[in-house]
Chain A
């Protein structure tokens, strides 16, 4: 059964190349959305708050601060055909796997220290 699942996941994964993602990364997610007839790419930029692995179900939750300081979180399934491209802008030094503490912070307190390689 496990073989069946891995074989089907292989089939649906396609050959999309994704960058190495880590919690705390600043990313731009290019997401394809269909509006009636038209198709366009929407870019969602923010911090990777959570990274979940697991084949086809691999997902990231990206948090960004929208206008009026309202936090917006969006979860993307990385294997989804709608996720066109992901750009990593910056890595951050973080000591947790899930950065839920960012939810309670705003302004300067919500900054993350950059990690350079």
Chain B
């Protein structure tokens, strides 16, 4: 992330995203595949395995393939190039990515538990979750109780982020705010579903 200046000298925190060039690699239709979608590919690949060589035989080799559900499949053709220019400044978008993995995290970090008291004779209780079950009835911990466990490294969508800058030449998007994942991670950007 960085920050840039917009009109009136206002500072906006932005995430820079290399958005494209993407290629439409496959079009799925209701008739043929029983649902409508387009498949797009991104990032130049040096080597492809045999199945991908066949799949992308008349299209530039790409590393990543992702499917986007849309009923508007007639607008797209196989091999069509999509770049950052499909977005305009001021658009509101959702960004989907894989969040940073936090490993096995305690309940304070994972669920914002408050932890125990620091003083009054406490030992080993500062980040403890407290009790998680009841007594003989029910005699077990309910499913879904918030407990320590693996955190992060899952699909996260950040909704309603604003596009601040578009540079189709460099395929660059600047999106206001933070997006899921580490630097250089793959994200998917689409028009905001709930505006």
Contact = CB atoms under 8 A, between A and B. Distances in A.
Contact of B3 (A32, A56, A82): A56
B9 A82 contact: yes
A67 interface: no
A9 B2 contact: yes
A55 B16 CA distance: 16
A4 B5 contact: no
A70 interface: no
A56 B184 CA distance: 21
A4 B16 contact: yes
A1 B4 contact: no
Interface string B145-166: 0000000000000000000010
B100 to A, nearest CB: 14
Contacts, number: 35
A1 B1 CA distance: 9
B11 interface: yes
B9 A7 contact: no
A8 B5 contact: no
Given A1-B183, A4-B16, A8-B172, A80 B9 contact: yes
A9 B9 CA distance: 15
Interface in A1-48: 1, 4-5, 7-9, 12, 32, 34
B8 interface: yes
B16 A1 contact: yes
- Interface size on A, as a range, is 10 to 19
A77 B11 contact: yes
A32 to B, nearest CB: 8
Given A1-B16, A1-B184, A8 B2 contact: yes
B172 A4 contact: yes
A57 B2 contact: yes
Contacts of B8: 34
B111 interface: no
B94 interface: no
Interface in B1-21: 2-5, 8-9, 11, 16, 18
A5 B18 CA distance: 11
A79 interface: yes
A32 B10 CA distance: 12
A8 B16 contact: yes
Nearest to B1: A5
A43 to B, nearest CB: 16
Given A56-B4, A57-B2, A57-B3, A4 B9 contact: no
A8 B174 contact: yes
Q: Which 6 A-B pairs have the closest CB atoms?
A: A82-B9, A4-B16, A1-B183, A5-B2, A81-B9, A80-B9
16 contacts: A1-B16, A4-B16, A4-B172, A5-B2, A8-B2, A8-B4, A8-B165, A8-B174, A12-B4, A12-B5, A34-B8, A56-B2, A56-B5, A57-B3, A80-B5, A80-B11
